[in-house]
Structure 1
């Protein structure tokens, strides 16, 4: 992608975003605050629609590369956008998610693996999509975290191993930068919505799985380590408190920092982004390719993260069912 093409593409995406914001205002696609929200004003929802739109444009102009992946992305983005407008039936959403992931796996040639490997991959991807969706709760966190991950993937693609066409990574990065212009603010112009968080999750997981299949290195799942630690530890504590883990809540660490400790949203988003950047730098410049090392890293970081949360949030709120949502 030449500099002029990239500039024109960026201008096009800004134009699409402005048109979408006008449409969202006209048709009242709004995120209204409630007791689980980390914001206090009505804000346009669904700005993350720019992610699948950008990749579809790239798909057309690249000669229709990665068609099965794009088809899955369009399906999962469509049902997520409909869910942003009006809550959709869980069975319908889950069925579309399964179909989209099935197309993703076809693109990656996963069906040559034994059935149990495919099953574990399904669990990982569906869980990953939901985890990234859960983490989209404050201004800037989805955009900054995604940008760090995408830039790391681009660096790996250019410097170490070309696992995918450079252009699709650059297009994804450009879309995230355009979205950040509207979202990475004290008072966001729009939120990603389910269409944004789910679609960027699908995109990131495709890139990471593509990298893993080309290199055979499972340690690249650490590119999502910080989000994973927050989500898994939150589920762990909710199970201990005997809460329904499928019910909406705001007990993630990032939500505690933003809501209970009153850290500015952008500060929390930057902290998460920098933490993941540190992990990515270690992964890039201290390469490892052993399952035993991966298991050790996940165990140690998991224990440290749980200990940190107990120290910061306190045993009472994390272990004894004190509802911090209404405090």
Structure 2
């Protein structure tokens, strides 16, 4: 009996087992990582940009990596052997890029080169790439070299945009859970069981991470170790959606899946585009670190960390639902609607201080 037939007979037992396995393994890892980090002083030192004032272990990505790696091996018979080896090798490479950066620091250029090498290896060895723009600005099938270049850019953009939102407790973890819920549902209805169960496993690992990430006593950050691995997996899962031949029951909803993917990553993409534009406008390098991210603006206006995480998750769900409402429109019209939603969101963040200052004054008048 193969794993597929076994999973059909067990119904929800296999995905549940995957979820529990990832949850339990990562949950057991974090106390050990925190203890070792404290003993060896492997901590994130607070600086002027950080929202935390005390040294905190930042190797939570190790627990995420271990749990996800074991889940991939556990589900390995669902995947072709070359895909399996490539995926395991890719996330291991991303893990070590993040780990080196967390332990001793790494120049942005070096990290970028590492990410490009990993992206190229995935594309060239598995042919997983963006092959069409589905009529966006009149473009359909892409030439091979353009397809490869665009896919590499997609990997780099998603990985680094995700890394940039990891600035407050729970934000990166909550967003990844929301995205993986979307992926799990999509892959289930398209019968891509390996990717579905992988998404469920990632959710399990992230839930246990959030327990410690939100903790006051045993707090831990995912660090670049975690954000590199998760950013890669998010882009990898998204590319699998773009490569699927949709079945009749699902093609009605996701006939324009490229726009749904862009909508799903709206929060990190808006944040990245916004801060890059502001830095360039001020004559700075777009890669200069600052406190102008969306989560910094929300913090300044009195939002708590968990509230910011909830806002990001609900915003993501809302944007995907907005695109769904206009699914019958032509793809360029849908893109225009999405761009307008992004512009409204970015403008709202920029001007948050005005309504919230008025609210605080109004609130004080009744005290």
- For 1:217 and 1:282, the matched residues in 2 are separated by 14
The alpha carbon displacement at 1:286 in A equals: 5.9
The alpha carbon displacement at 1:270 in A equals: 1.1
| Shift in alpha-carbon separation, 1:164–1:18, aligned structure 2, 3 A | same
Q: 1:109 aligns with which of 106, 121, 128?
A: 128
Q: Does 1:252 align with 2:293?
A: yes
Structure 1 partner of 2:101:
83
The alpha carbon displacement at 1:211 in A equals: 0.5
Structure 1 partner of 2:57:
44
Q: Does 1:271 align with 2:315?
A: no
| Shift in alpha-carbon separation, 1:294–1:205, aligned structure 2, 3 A | farther
In 2, are the aligned partners of 1:163 and 1:211 still within 8 Å (CA)?
no
Q: In the TM superposition, what whole-angstrom CA distance separates every residue of 1:255-301 from its partner, at most 9, and x where no partner exists?
A: 1221x223211111111111112223445676468531342133212
Q: 1:208 aligns with which of 204, 217, 238?
A: 238
- Counterparts of 1:171-210 in structure 2, within 5 Å, are 171-185=201-215, 189-210=219-240
Q: In the TM superposition, what whole-angstrom CA distance separates every residue of 1:126-148 from its partner, at most 9, and x where no partner exists?
A: 12211111110000101111111
The alpha carbon displacement at 1:40 in A equals: 1.5
In 1, are the aligned partners of 2:86 and 2:122 still within 8 Å (CA)?
yes
| Shift in alpha-carbon separation, 1:71–1:8, aligned structure 2, 3 A | closer
Gaps of 5+ in 1: 315-327
- For 1:278 and 1:172, the matched residues in 2 are separated by 22
- For 2:326 and 2:31, the matched residues in 1 are separated by 42
Worse-superposed segment, 263-272 or 101-110: 101-110
Structure 1 partner of 2:5:
none
Q: Does 1:217 align with 2:257?
A: yes
Structure 1 partner of 2:346:
306
- For 1:4 and 1:206, the matched residues in 2 are separated by 23
The alpha carbon displacement at 1:33 in A equals: 1.1
The alpha carbon displacement at 1:61 in A equals: 2.0
The alpha carbon displacement at 1:185 in A equals: 4.2
Give the TM-score normalised by structure 2.
Answer: 0.78
Structure 1 partner of 2:250:
none
The alpha carbon displacement at 1:89 in A equals: 3.9
- For 1:125 and 1:109, the matched residues in 2 are separated by 11
Q: Does 1:235 align with 2:265?
A: no
Q: In the TM superposition, what whole-angstrom CA distance separates every residue of 1:206-253 from its partner, at most 9, and x where no partner exists?
A: 111111111472112211112211221121122111122112112112
- For 2:127 and 2:37, the matched residues in 1 are separated by 35
| Shift in alpha-carbon separation, 1:90–1:162, aligned structure 2, 3 A | same
Q: 1:60 aligns with which of 60, 73, 76?
A: 73
- For 2:145 and 2:263, the matched residues in 1 are separated by 24
Q: Does 1:169 align with 2:210?
A: no
- Counterparts of 1:111-150 in structure 2, within 5 Å, are 114-150=144-180
Worse-superposed segment, 128-137 or 210-219: 210-219
In 2, are the aligned partners of 1:218 and 1:291 still within 8 Å (CA)?
no
Q: Secondary structure at the match of 1:110?
A: coil
Rg larger in structure = 2
Gaps of 5+ in 2: 1-13, 132-142, 247-255, 355-367
| Shift in alpha-carbon separation, 1:217–1:307, aligned structure 2, 3 A | same
| Shift in alpha-carbon separation, 1:193–1:4, aligned structure 2, 3 A | closer
Q: In the TM superposition, what whole-angstrom CA distance separates every residue of 1:45-91 from its partner, at most 9, and x where no partner exists?
A: 02022232222112222236332122111101111111101112444
Structure 2 partner of 1:296:
336
In 2, are the aligned partners of 1:163 and 1:210 still within 8 Å (CA)?
no
Worse-superposed segment, 77-86 or 113-122: 113-122
- For 1:21 and 1:224, the matched residues in 2 are separated by 31
Worse-superposed segment, 110-119 or 208-217: 110-119
In 2, are the aligned partners of 1:143 and 1:184 still within 8 Å (CA)?
no
